[in-house]
Amino acid sequence: MTVKTANDIRLMTEACQLAARTLDHVAKYVKAGVTTNELDQIVYDYTMSHEATPAPLNYKGYPKSICTSVNDCICHGLPDDTPLKDGDIVNVDVTTIKHGFHGDTSRTFIIGDVPSSTAHLVDSAKKAMERGIEAIEPGGTTGDIGFAINKFVTRKGFYVVEEIGGHGIGRNFHEDPFVPSFGKKGRGDRLLTWGTITVEPMLNETSVPIREFDIPKSEIKYYLTGDQSLSAQFEHTVLITDTGYEILTLP
């Protein structure tokens, strides 16, 4: 984990705030009938007009400005020309580079009417992220975060994705440490004061093993649930402070 200076934190906060505002902006367009390619274009235009860069674009060959993960897509879904429809859920994941620093945040949106079980999954994913963030303490570890997330998710009757998770972030999109959605208190990597990480649990309805797929000409893979059941996720970028934490991507 890279420790930031006061000036780094000022610049990083600007990047994170722009990511949050971008997600708020695109949120207005997330409804039945819109294609995920249209959402991608909206984020591209908004980011460029704010003297910033969409981090996913050309990152390890990834061809779009955002990830849009619909229904059984767990993460890294590629925007396309399929319109969203009533009953879908979609995670929109925005990462913005400004002043050389990254801000990474995502939300899962509900399109129209969904069964109460789906609403419960999405609500639990948001709360799981919050529980993980609240477990951050100076001198704590990534295992504290994972433990808090998995304890909550298990209690709700859902399953965390173990293969993918949060990460250190800063001048690079993905830095050490890996921030798991499971673990033991006090285990894993030490959280350093003035370090920045993402907390981004992915929740599945079932424990069926996930499936990995290639994105053409890219090192990035996308992931689907093993049985076409739903998956939901929320993400914030968080600063570890001398007294606890600060969520940098709160709008």
Annotate each residue in 215-244 with x if it binds ligand MF3 (CB under 6 A) or - if it does not, as one string.
-----x--------------x---------
201 binds ligand MF3 (CB under 6 A): no
Task: Looking at residues 186 to 215 of the shown chain, list those that interact with Co ion (rule: CB under 5 A).
Answer: 198
- The number of residues making up the chain comes to 251
Applying CB under 6 A, the span of 58-66, 118-126, 127-135, 204-212 interacting with ligand MF3 comes to 58-66
Question: Vertex 154, ends 151 and 157: CA angle to 5°?
Answer: 155
223's CB contacts (< 8 A; 6+ apart) are 73, 74, 75, 76, 161, 163, 164, 210, 211, 212, 213
Distance of CA 246 to the CA centre of its chain: 16
Of 103, 147, 156, which is closest to residue 127 (Cα–Cα)?
156
Q: Among Co ion, ligand MF3, none, what does residue 130 contact (CB within 5–8 Å per kind)?
A: none
Applying CB under 6 A, the span of 56-64, 176-184, 201-209, 224-232 interacting with ligand MF3 comes to 56-64
Compute the least distance from the CB of residue 23 to ligand MF3, in Å: 11
Whole-number Å distance between alpha carbons of 96 and 2: 19
Residue from 62, 158, 159, 223 in contact with ligand MF3 (CB under 6 A): 62
Task: Looking at residues 85 to 114 of the shown chain, list those that interact with ligand MF3 (rule: CB under 6 A).
Answer: 93, 95, 104
